[in-house]
Structure 1
């Protein structure tokens, strides 16, 4: 049984938060399971982590979750939309920040005919102070329906780098073309996969790069459907696929799963979020199938 089916099946035994949202424990983590006429989805309260999203018009998830994802306390979840904050990559310890490893608070859960809207929050507390001592407040808003929208807002007295690390579900990586990336990028690998057409990306090896001048709207085409990612107030877009060897080396990633996912991530890396104590710094994205 797929991990997404297991999560959706847990809906029946969860406590009701609204007509279409139930809360349950999956593995070690509290999870919100969403079964709405417009879509199915789930969110882990650890990390305010959107685990997957599948519009009712689609036969497979648009936001992808690994079959081997861990649902354990203070362990990263492979897939979905991890929140890398208040730093990206190896700029601090743990890698990609602590926001994805700690429990967030569910502030509101609302729904209407268009879908479900959630607001989650995180502020400095005993759990976060082991990683980061400065005071802060952060909020994540999630809308899931026929479209998916995620927005991160934060306050503090520091600069933060961040990524909304979206894993997209695709038919086959061999058929994927990502367009709208622009021609300026920073490659993070020793062997570069040079694009044959500037601003576009196809895959025939591991890819890990930061595009620094991408279009606001990016498309991911896999031969069967086109996913449109619209970035809001982002400065960079990261693309990633582990390919064969790295997929085999990751315990929380099945050997062949590199074929069914691609990361196209909405980021603030080269232009960090300049936080203020009384004013929100905000960025996010919207996803739709076109």
Structure 2
């Protein structure tokens, strides 16, 4: 409990910010007049986010997720870095930072009650054994009436390196089969469920089964129109030229029940597949997302 006590002594304010332990993990609990959220120290992972103007969460998590050391929590916004998806030789999918503890550097509450958290992770002997580069990786999140996350990669080594990465955002919807996803029309995508076959999206996206696609040339906002919940979710992006759309239907991964897939969809700001990011020595690169909502009627 030493880490929990230290975090509460250093950053809790007695009103809106506290640190709690759930299962094996420590989480920051945010509760202000504008939003409620939970963020895990492991992975600097936003687990929940619900702005005050919404009756239901906007960031989705599984009903009964596991809070276990070394395992990403099913839902929220896992940070995938320094590779997105499968590694060509390692069994470790989506990189290694989502299953390691990050250091909380700073907490700030703005006059509008938005809470900002600044997390950091750096290379270690363990990470160098997996990926032979030195780095400093920051996750800067602003939790308020909207949710903003910036992932900042800094190359602290003498050689350039390349990464793929993602903010693997799970979003709560009323019924995945009734939503409409706009903003990815007239773009090409790779279909993971068809052996990464290349195809063309000529219209808005509707979901009628399992979907797992990477859309390219998409650095603009994407919208989810959700008639069941009478809301529109807007996903803005920064430093991202590819977008993942994922719903597993009944092919659910561990930590999720088959019936839960109808309540969620992932629309993710990523750099994936051919959209790689090169980072020169002493250079920084940013991947960002902003999630906001408004009523349809």
Deviation of 1:132 (Å): 2.5
SS for the counterpart of 1:266 is strand
> Which range moves more in the overlay, 194-203 or 84-93?
194-203
Counterpart Cα distance in 1 of 2:71 and 2:278: 28
Post-superposition CA distance 1:147-177 (Å, at most 9, x none): 1100000122310100100000001112111
> Which range moves more in the overlay, 15-24 or 214-223?
15-24
Runs of 4+ with >3 A deviation: 194-197
Please name the residue that 1:48 is paired with: 44
Post-superposition CA distance 1:187-237 (Å, at most 9, x none): 111299x99972411011100000002251110111121001111110100
SS for the counterpart of 2:261 is helix
Post-superposition CA distance 1:73-110 (Å, at most 9, x none): 11111100011100011125311100101110000011
Counterpart Cα distance in 2 of 1:33 and 1:95: 28
Deviation of 1:251 (Å): 3.3
Please name the residue that 1:131 is paired with: 130
Structure 1: gaps (5+ residues)? 1-13
Counterpart Cα distance in 2 of 1:77 and 1:144: 19
Please name the residue that 2:73 is paired with: 77
Post-superposition CA distance 1:234-284 (Å, at most 9, x none): 01000000002x12xx33002211010000010112221211331211110
For residues 83-102 of structure 1, the aligned pairs below 5 Å read 83-92=79-88, 93=90, 94-102=92-100
Q: How many residues align?
A: 274
Structure 2: gaps (5+ residues)? 1-7
Please name the residue that 2:3 is paired with: none
Please name the residue that 2:152 is paired with: 153
The one of 216, 234, 237 aligned to 2:220:
216
Please name the residue that 1:260 is paired with: 263
Counterpart Cα distance in 1 of 2:269 and 2:193: 20
For residues 54-65 of structure 1, the aligned pairs below 5 Å read 54-65=50-61
Counterpart Cα distance in 2 of 1:195 and 1:274: 26
Verify the 8 A CA contact 1:168 1:264 in the aligned structure 2.
yes
SS for the counterpart of 1:256 is helix
Counterpart Cα distance in 1 of 2:63 and 2:129: 30
Give TM-score, length-normalised by structure 1.
Answer: 0.89
Please name the residue that 2:234 is paired with: 228
Verify the 8 A CA contact 1:17 1:23 in the aligned structure 2.
yes
SS for the counterpart of 1:204 is coil
SS for the counterpart of 2:106 is strand
Residue 178 (1) aligns with residue 174 (2): no
Verify the 8 A CA contact 1:110 1:118 in the aligned structure 2.
yes
Please name the residue that 1:113 is paired with: 111
